Structure 1
């Protein structure tokens, strides 16, 4: 029985990806996606930004985002729908965040963690037998815990709490390399 499972694993298609959008925002990332069946794949992505954002700005973070995908035709080609989870840690200050998130982050520093789940839609463009471009957009629920500090460099905590909201949870344009 174990030999049959090992043979199945060997015959699966594997994709290695880099999200060019988050890469352009100084957030190195890598995702791996494996074919589970004729219609399903599982992707696991990791993003990490240890770099200073310039000046007094802070935008350090890491997060993981696994996603189960259903493909309309076949894996690694065409339309897909996904359901994803995410968890990460952040440290942000002197930044203007989209959607009015943490309006005080322009004058204070926030750090904490977040947990979320969402749904996504995407399309996989085949360029050659090994190379592809993949796009995806997602929306979902985020639960963010935070501690607020008076300034970017000092340690005086001035508040904290939790926020829950519906927000974009995924926006990607990825360069994909397929391994059979």
Structure 2
């Protein structure tokens, strides 16, 4: 986990070494908005073919389902067209999230960290408006408390005043799927 975080920070620092006049855009992912997960993202041009993105998202009881999720997704993108924020791209990104989900009679309360590869295409609709279609996948590592509604988790899983997780592992999951609408600020 720590190595993934260090790698993402290193990639962002290396990509920003030649920053001159930057283009900056703000975006929202329409797919997440439809799923009642408000989000906002920023994308900064760092070179002739590269950008760095940061997206933040979260929800609280969407459609009445008892769940809370807060997360962040940094990403480094390389554009094949020779023009950033336009055409096909390849990205390397990460995801970090904290969640508390009550699904049927089970409760999942924990954190997730992951990294993945993203592929996509950015369409320019107007001088300052873009549509970004993207999909990505990768390993997502999780560590959470998993128990049933009527369990006495607070009493059974305490180890010297510290609640411990009883489930951890990883899954190969989509790390990013969506359609974003961007507005170029500068």
Distance 1:41 1:88, change over 3 A: same
| Corresponding residue for residue 148 of structure 1 | 146
Following superposition of structure 1 onto structure 2, how do residues 47-86 of structure 1 map, counting pairs within 5 Å?
47-54=57-64, 57-73=65-81, 74-86=83-95
Q: Confirm or deny that 1:43 pairs with 2:41.
A: no
Normalising to structure 2: TM-score of the pair? 0.80
Cα distance in 2, alignment partners of residues 112 and 75 from structure 1:
36
Segments of 4+ in structure 1 off by > 6 A?
none
Normalising to structure 1: TM-score of the pair? 0.82
User: What SS does the corresponding residue of 1:148 show, helix, strand or coil?
Assistant: strand
Cα distance in 1, alignment partners of residues 185 and 151 from structure 2:
47
1:89-109 Cα offsets, whole Å, 9 max, x none, are 011122xxxxxxxxxxx3211
Distance 1:138 1:52, change over 3 A: closer
Count of aligned residue pairs for this structure pair: 158
RMSD: 1.8
**Which of the numbers 25, 49, 70 marks the counterpart of 2:35?**
25
User: What SS does the corresponding residue of 1:147 show, helix, strand or coil?
Assistant: strand
Cα distance in 2, alignment partners of residues 165 and 132 from structure 1:
32
Q: Which moved more, 1:140-149 or 1:45-54?
A: 45-54
Structure 1 gap segments, 5+ residues each: 95-105
| Corresponding residue for residue 100 of structure 1 | none
